[in-house]
Amino acid sequence: MIATAPRSVIDERATALTRARYQRLSSIYDLMEGMAEGRYRPWREKLWALVNGKRILEIGVGTGKNMPYWPRAARMTAIDLTPGMLEIARRRAQELGLTSELRLGDAQALDFPDASFDTAVATFVFCSVPDPVLGLSELNRVVKPGGQVLLLEHMRSAHRVLGAIMDFVNPAVVRLMGANINRRTVANVWASGLEVERVEDLWLGGIFKLIVAKAGE
Ligand SMILES: C[S@@+](CC[C@H](N)C(=O)[O-])C[C@H]1O[C@@H](n2cnc3c(N)ncnc32)[C@H](O)[C@@H]1O
């Protein structure tokens, strides 16, 4: 059954703004992220080594930076909100000779039946999804009960002063980059109904984390 969130629940204006911001950045995204990518690469590798099952969903595939790590034996489906990002991902998939289903979609209203996937992955996405709890609850719905949800995310610092600075500068960062830097993503994962199994601090005192969660049984 496909029981997506009613469109009325989704903040259409915020979602259109997010799409417009990433559309504007899509042609320079890989260049812009080039320096950081050296640090992200081993984290991506680590996350994808945890993936199991045959039916895998990647949310917010962006320009396809995870594609080199996609399990070759799996049936991959990937979505993104932004046509410009997806276009680059399509080219990358072709270059890598990958067979996959790549389509436009919104994490907040996934166009898949319940329990369609063994695992869902998102890297640096839930900082941008306008309603992250709604998006994460959609993952909880489309992953089979007990299946995996694996996330790499940056989030608000637990340090009191640094956290407050992140709150202060967040509006400017969102306007410029499309991403919120002060999300409380671990709490959001719990709030979505997913079960957090493990959280690993990766960098900057836990601003960057790997989150291993399980869809509700
Ligand atoms: C910071 S980029 C990360 C891209 C990629 N996952 C990576 O690791 O490089 C965030 C991506 O999330 C996508 N995104 C934002 N909101 C989304 C939503 N509601 N549904 C699907 N994708 C979304 C953006 O279009 C963008 O491609």
Does 68 have pLDDT greater than 80?
yes
Output the pLDDT for position 121.
Answer: 98
Which residues lie closer than 8 Å to 111 by C-beta, 6 or more apart?
2, 4, 105
- The fold of the 7-214 domain, in CATH, is Rossmann fold (3.40.50)
Percent of the chain with pLDDT over 90: 93
Output the pLDDT for position 90.
Answer: 98
Does 58 have pLDDT greater than 80?
yes
Q: Which atom, in ligand 1's list, is nearest to the CA of 62?
A: 27
* Pocket-testing residue among 80, 87, 90, ligand 1, by greatest number of atoms within 8 A of Cβ: 80
Q: Does residue 121 line the site of ligand 1, with CB under 6 A?
A: no
Q: What is the mean pLDDT of the chain?
A: 95
Does 5 have pLDDT greater than 60?
no
pTM recorded for the entire structure: 0.95
Q: Does residue 26 line the site of ligand 1, with CB under 6 A?
A: no
Output the pLDDT for position 100.
Answer: 92
CB 54 within 8 A of CB 118: yes
- Cα 38 to ligand 1 centroid, rounded to whole Å: 19
Q: Does residue 18 line the site of ligand 1, with CB under 6 A?
A: yes
- Alpha carbons within 13 angstroms on the beta-carbon side of residue 146 total 2
Q: Is 62 exposed, middle or buried (0-12, 13-18, 19+ CB in 10 A)?
A: buried
Percent of the chain with pLDDT over 70: 96
pLDDT digits (tens, 9 = 90+) for 136-163: 999 999 999 999 999 999 999 999 999 9
Q: Does residue 139 line the site of ligand 1, with CB under 6 A?
A: no
The SS3 of residue 90 is helix
Domain boundaries, the chain: 7-214
- Cα 178 to ligand 1 centroid, rounded to whole Å: 9
Q: Does residue 70 line the site of ligand 1, with CB under 6 A?
A: no
Q: Which atom, in ligand 1's list, is nearest to the CA of 130?
A: 19
Of 209, 216, 217, nearest in space to 47 by CA: 209
Output the pLDDT for position 34.
Answer: 86
* Residue range 194-201: mean pLDDT, rounded: 98
Which residue, judged by its Cα, is nearest atom 16 of ligand 1? 129
Q: Does residue 138 line the site of ligand 1, with CB under 6 A?
A: no
Q: Does residue 108 line the site of ligand 1, with CB under 6 A?
A: yes
